């Protein structure tokens, strides 16, 4: 019973000592100017080194997901493009994964910061000891058994005082890697943003294609009826009627395929929004206006601006800095370290009087030979730096290509919208004239069917060109690193 009380007393003393050492270590860390953060709070009790704030608070970056991603009370309301983007950013697994990676790396920063703080280890043991022996006396064995209990408790303090920059380099590497992952998270947000816009416009392009195909089907049916009427009146031929019937059947098939494409486009949009593909969607039809050439700018300047804004290039640059820090850490790992070491032990036994031992000293550790381990560690770190530099340069070149292609696609799309609008106007007039001539007996069924086919094709091309222009404009914004809610507003307003 007395032994148990002693042990409990020692554990209480150990807890007090641990608290004292922790306060002292934080004070020393601040005095030394280390990155260890002393301020803690009950709200953030699980983040004593304040590293969680270094990562985005949510999958939306600095936006508070609790307010942005709360869609309760919005059921039954038709979704605008902004609503679609909001739901995609909140629900798409790609943004969640990027956010989780950044949070995990923030914890790695905490691990690197912890190297600036001392370590305190408590130990305790209770041992029952027994020795058996004996001596012989006049041919008889005399037993001489000894039993005793021994209790020990101790505290060990370790504190790295100086290591020629190894801790600093490791922390810098962790911070730069976290910076890279934060930029990667930004890139993931922009990627999902663009996918949501593309799926949104592609859905309405597919739905518009259904409308166009139904109009072509209606025209085909009208031609078929006209051919049948002429045949019944004796002014037409069976060949005209069969050709008209074939064209009508083809129009019906095109309408069925367009309806299937529309359903697939709706599934793609639901998927981007983080929903099951079969879930029905009520989406507001966008207001489409004719584009102009307001986007035209100097391409060299656009590429320079893109390289300053693109988060993927910033992430690659941060990875280069992290690789440089890893070289410093590898070099410093082969240098001496200076540490403070201390210990306190209490031993009690029923076979001798209790005693205490304590120690405090400075330890110098000098790695003399590690089997060339450090040599190859440095060489490996240097090679990884070269790889990261190459990766960064690859991203830089890709940005120039992305901007170039997006710009040219937008310029081509602008001209395509104008040309397709002229094509629709001429094809509409041509179909009207051909139908009138055929009904009057002055034209052939071939002329009418060709005119109707050209009109259906022109309408479809114009629809696709309009929606593709908006997609191309969003793609250019994404390639410039400017795709955000402000750009979204620009897309929805007059170009």
Give per-residue pLDDT as tens, 358-374. 999 999 999 999 899 99
Share of the chain above pLDDT 90, in %: 47
The answer to whether the Cα torsion of 410, 413, 418, 419 is positive or negative is positive
How many alpha carbons fall within 13 Å on the CB side of residue 144? 8
Alpha carbon 234 to its chain centroid, in Å, reads 70
In a domain, 27, yes or no: yes
The domain tally of the chain equals 1
In a domain, 283, yes or no: yes
Both tokens of 423, joined, read 């094509």
The DSSP bridge pattern shows strands 140-143 and 146-162 to be unpaired
How would you class 185 by CB atoms within 10 Å of its CB: exposed for 0-12, middle for 13-18, buried for 19 or more?
buried
Residues paired with residue 365 on neighbouring β-strands, in sequence order = 337
Rounded CA-CA distance 216/384 in Å is 60
In a domain, 71, yes or no: no
Is the pLDDT higher at 133 or at 464? 464
Compute the average pLDDT of residues 248-270: 93
| 55: nearest Cα among 183, 172, 189, 170 | 183
| CATH classification of the domain holding 215 | 1.20.1600.10
User: Quick one: pLDDT at residue 179?
Assistant: 94
In a domain, 340, yes or no: yes
In a domain, 70, yes or no: no
Which of the four pLDDT bands, split at 50, 70 and 90, describes residue 22? very low
In a domain, 108, yes or no: yes
In a domain, 271, yes or no: yes
pTM for the complete prediction?
Answer: 0.77
Which of the four pLDDT bands, split at 50, 70 and 90, describes residue 207? very high
Name the residue range of residue 210's domain.
Answer: 2-65+78-116+123-128+147-492
In a domain, 136, yes or no: no
Compute the average pLDDT of residues 267-291: 88
Residue 390 has pLDDT above 50, yes or no: yes
């Amino acid at each position: 019973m007395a032994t148990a009380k002693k042990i409990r007393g020692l554990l209480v003393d150990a807890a007090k000592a641990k608290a004292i050492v922790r306060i002292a270590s934080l004070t020393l860390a601040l005095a030394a100017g280390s990155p260890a953060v002393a301020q803690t709070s009950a709200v953030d009790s699980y983040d004593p080194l304040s590293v969680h704030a270094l990562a985005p608070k949510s999958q939306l970056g600095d936006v508070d997901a609790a307010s942005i991603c709360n869609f309760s009370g919005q059921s039954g309301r038709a979704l605008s493009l902004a609503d679609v983007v909001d739901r995609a950013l909140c629900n798409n697994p790609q943004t969640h994964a990027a956010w989780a990676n950044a949070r995990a790396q923030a914890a790695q920063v905490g691990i690197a910061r912890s190297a600036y703080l001392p370590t305190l280890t408590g130990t305790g043991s209770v041992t029952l000891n027994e020795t058996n022996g004996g001596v012989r006396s006049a041919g008889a064995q005399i037993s001489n058994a000894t039993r005793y209990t021994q209790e020990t408790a101790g505290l060990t303090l370790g504190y790295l005082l100086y290591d020629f920059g190894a801790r600093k380099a490791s922390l810098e590497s962790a911070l730069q890697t976290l910076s890279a992952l934060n930029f990667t998270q930004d890139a993931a947000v922009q990627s999902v943003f663009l996918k949501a816009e593309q799926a949104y416009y592609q859905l309405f392009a597919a739905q518009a294609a259904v409308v166009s195909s139904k109009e072509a089907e209606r025209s085909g049916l009208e031609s078929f009826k006209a051919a049948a009427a002429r045949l019944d009146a004796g002014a037409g031929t069976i060949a005209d009627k069969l050709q008209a019937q074939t064209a009508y059947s083809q129009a019906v098939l095109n309408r069925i395929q367009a309806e299937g494409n529309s359903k697939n486009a709706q599934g793609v949009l639901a998927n981007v929004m983080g929903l099951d593909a079969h879930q029905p969607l009520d989406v507001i039809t966008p207001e489409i206006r004719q584009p102009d050439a307001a986007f035209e700018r100097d391409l060299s300047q656009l590429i320079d601006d893109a390289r300053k804004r693109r988060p993927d290039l910033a992430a690659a640059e941060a990875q280069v800095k992290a690789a440089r820090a890893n070289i410093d850490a590898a070099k410093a790992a082969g240098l001496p370290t200076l540490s403070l070491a201390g210990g306190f032990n209490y031993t009690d036994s029923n076979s001798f009087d209790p005693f205490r031992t304590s120690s405090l000293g400075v330890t110098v550790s000098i790695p003399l030979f590690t089997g060339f381990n450090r040599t190859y560690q440095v060489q490996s770190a240097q090679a990884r730096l070269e790889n990261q530099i190459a990766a960064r340069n690859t991203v830089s070149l890709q940005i120039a290509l992305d901007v170039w292609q997006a710009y040219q696609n937008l310029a081509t799309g602008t001209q395509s919208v104008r040309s397709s609008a002229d094509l629709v106007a001429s094809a509409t007039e041509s179909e009207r004239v051909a139908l009138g001539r055929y009904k009057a007996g002055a034209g052939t069924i071939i002329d009418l069917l060709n005119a109707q086919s050209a009109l259906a094709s022109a309408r479809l091309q114009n629809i696709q060109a309009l929606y593709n222009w908006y997609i191309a404009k969003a793609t250019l914004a994404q390639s410039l690193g400017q795709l955000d809610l402000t750009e979204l507003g620009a897309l929805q307003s007059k170009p």
